Amino acid sequence: METIFFVGDVHGYRDRIVNHLIEAGLVGRDGKWAGGDKRLFFMGDFMDRGPEGIESLEFVMDLQADARKKGGTVESVMGNHEAGLISVKRLGAAPSLGKKGTFESDWIGLGGKLDELARVTDRHMDWITALPALIRVGDVLIGHSDSLFTLEYGDTVEEVNAAFRRFVMTSDPDFWGPFVVKFYERYIFWREPREVEKLLGHFGGKRFVHGHTTIPDMCGADPKTVTGALVYADGRCVDVDGGMYLGAPGFIHRETIASGVG
């Protein structure tokens, strides 16, 4: 059996996550990869809300490259805040379907920061736009949001990821308006646990690991007490977003899969 590792939505709390990764033996005190051939997955939403958005993004980008050189794996799925950032870079003040009326104002309303936007480079954008929507590792399906919207974009993980890569390069508001709104959907599997079977039956896997909706929002927990993942829907769903921007301490989640699978 093999253990794979997960980090929930970072939202600019770089130092907090680095400390957890050091404790887990995945990162050294120098901030470099120390996990050997281990596999680490992030759930997206690196920026917005917290104090170190660009620093969080760059840390994961650099860690991914360093892990690859050393035989390890660091991957991430795209979060809705990455999608929001791309929409702002593509369309800015154009009218949106969101509550604030423009892509930029919608993004700011959800924690986006104009000073960080000014620091986003082509290197950052190239990395963000290449992020997949879904990853499957053995019987574990990984995606950002607790919703079914990815079903609209393909019949396989590979098809959905290819569709995302095509779509995020467009500046068409007719695509971006509905896409951003759909990406914010949540609570689907908490409200109706059987709905996750549609996702797993479509893309494969026995368990869905996601972020997006904080555990305190999901079940009313005090953020300061959230130190581990929320397993629900008869064990079929795992929420790893502890809600660090709400004051939660953060954590590293571990899942066990059959060795050499995925």
What pLDDT was estimated at residue 39?
Answer: 98
Residue 261, pLDDT above cutoff 80: no
Q: Is 210 helix (H, G, I), strand (E, B) or coil?
A: strand
Q: Is 42 helix (H, G, I), strand (E, B) or coil?
A: strand
| Rounded Cα distance, 50 and 75, in Å | 21
% of the chain with per-residue pLDDT over 90: 97
What pLDDT was estimated at residue 49?
Answer: 94
Give me the mean pLDDT over the 66-80 stretch. 98
pTM of the model: 0.96
| Rounded Cα distance, 196 and 237, in Å | 8
Task: Work out the burial of residue 175: count CB atoms within 10 Å of its CB; fewer than 13 is exposed, 13-18 middle, 19 or more buried.
Answer: middle
Give me the mean pLDDT over the 146-157 stretch. 97
Tell me which residue of 123, 166, 115, 164 sits closest to 12, measured CA to CA: 115
Q: Contact, 203 vs 174, CB < 8 A?
A: no
pLDDT digits (tens, 9 = 90+) for 15-60: 999 999 999 999 999 999 999 999 999 999 999 999 999 999 999 9
pLDDT digits (tens, 9 = 90+) for 127-138: 999 999 999 999
pLDDT tier at 260, thresholds 50, 70, 90: low
pLDDT tier at 232, thresholds 50, 70, 90: very high
CATH architecture under which domain 2-257 falls: 4-Layer Sandwich (3.60)
pLDDT tier at 112, thresholds 50, 70, 90: very high
The amino acid at residue 45 is D
Q: Contact, 107 vs 114, CB < 8 A?
A: no
Break the chain into its structural domains and give their ranges.
2-257
pLDDT digits (tens, 9 = 90+) for 158-213: 999 999 999 999 999 999 999 999 999 999 999 999 999 999 999 999 999 999 99
What pLDDT was estimated at residue 108?
Answer: 95
